[in-house]
Structure 1
Amino acid sequence: MIKEIDLHRCDLVKELFELQKASYLVEAKLINFFDIPPLKETMEALKGCGELFLGYFEDTKLVGALSYTIEGEELTICRMVVDPTHFRKGIAQRLLEEVEKKNKDLNVIKVSTGKDNPPAKKLYLKNGYRLVGDVEVVPGLFISNFKKTPSKK
């Protein structure tokens, strides 16, 4: 089940905090860069990040989450995390579909991931995102930027 995550609920923030650490550690190993900001983030910073969160729950356990911001007609996906023990179950796909469905009137959706993160890049490409380009954000670390212009139905 997918539902919004209330960052005022300490129990959910703690689950989200642990989930993102586990998920981003896998990405850090893939891209060989361990200074990914969410890996260094405190629970207080997570609570105050200003992002909207969708959570994927199995029973009552949070096993996936997506966060985003909206500015004008543009949605930016900030985080996509899945519990590593639940990889390859379609959780990221369902979260992506849900955020798009909830925000179908927006003109642009943007997302970034590590250039050396094939599973994330494949997810975005198969869902109609186009690669805008790769940017070196710190020496030796490249981020792939994607953009989608949803069709209005």
Structure 2
Amino acid sequence: MPIRPLDLTDDAIADAVYRIGRAAYAVEAQLIGFDGIPALGESLTEMRARPLHWLGAFSGDGSLDGFLAWEVEGEGICIDRLCVDPGRFRRGVASLLLRHVLAELFPGRPVEVTTGAANAPAVTLYERLGFARGPDFSPAPGLTMASFARAAGCGPWEGGRGSSDLG
């Protein structure tokens, strides 16, 4: 499955990212019991204006299966979103994207990410790839988020504190 940078100035790419993001966040909203996820209320224009770096995973037919977007914060990386087309769930797309960025784009750099604490598939993915679970927090009533971090110097498949099946 090819992985390549995404150019959100391209209307077709931006539309695909927007469609997949909304569909994936709608599933997460059901999983966590909270429909106020900020990305669900974001317009296409607002999404395109975000100061993020975008990377996508593509099917053999050239369609976008999922994407990962991040910000650089000093020496660290903050993953802003990791979304997979719901029709492509459980096929390793999220793992592929995450492993790629950890190994190829930011090896040895600290990486942080958050997800809904009740989003069991995402929590399992981050723990499996060596992210240590930090404190949960509630940015809005009815929403509990889980925070995860990988220390600088941690390889892409090394277990970290809190790793469920690597430690």
Provide the TM-score with structure 2 as the length reference: 0.88
Counterparts of 2:152 and 2:68, CA distance in 1: 18
Compute the displacement of 1:60 (Å).
Answer: 1.4
SS at match of 1:63: strand
Corresponding position of 1:117: 119
Corresponding position of 1:31: 32
Compute the displacement of 1:73 (Å).
Answer: 0.7
Structure 1: 4+ residue segments shifted above 2 A: 150-153
Corresponding position of 2:44: 43
How does 1:126-145 map onto structure 2 within 5 Å? 126-145=128-147
- Which residue, 89, 101, 105 being the options, matches 2:91? 89
Counterparts of 1:35 and 1:134, CA distance in 2: 18
SS at match of 1:143: strand
Compute the displacement of 1:150 (Å).
Answer: 4.1
Identity %, equivalent residues:
34
SS at match of 1:134: strand
Corresponding position of 1:16: 17
Give the gaps of 5 or more residues in structure 2: 156-167
Q: Which amino acid aligns with 1:42?
A: S
Compute the displacement of 1:151 (Å).
Answer: 2.5
Compute the displacement of 1:39 (Å).
Answer: 0.7
Compute the displacement of 1:103 (Å).
Answer: 1.2
SS at match of 2:50: coil
SS at match of 2:36: coil
Corresponding position of 2:158: none
Q: Which amino acid aligns with 2:107?
A: K
Counterparts of 1:105 and 1:148, CA distance in 2: 9
Counterparts of 1:117 and 1:152, CA distance in 2: 24
Corresponding position of 2:57: 56
Corresponding position of 1:104: 107
Counterparts of 1:73 and 1:28, CA distance in 2: 31
Equivalent residues, number:
152
The answer to which structure has the higher strand fraction is: 1
Quote the RMSD (CA, aligned, Å): 1.1
Q: Which amino acid aligns with 2:36?
A: D
Counterparts of 1:97 and 1:152, CA distance in 2: 12
Counterparts of 1:132 and 1:79, CA distance in 2: 18
Counterparts of 1:126 and 1:63, CA distance in 2: 21
Counterparts of 1:139 and 1:39, CA distance in 2: 17
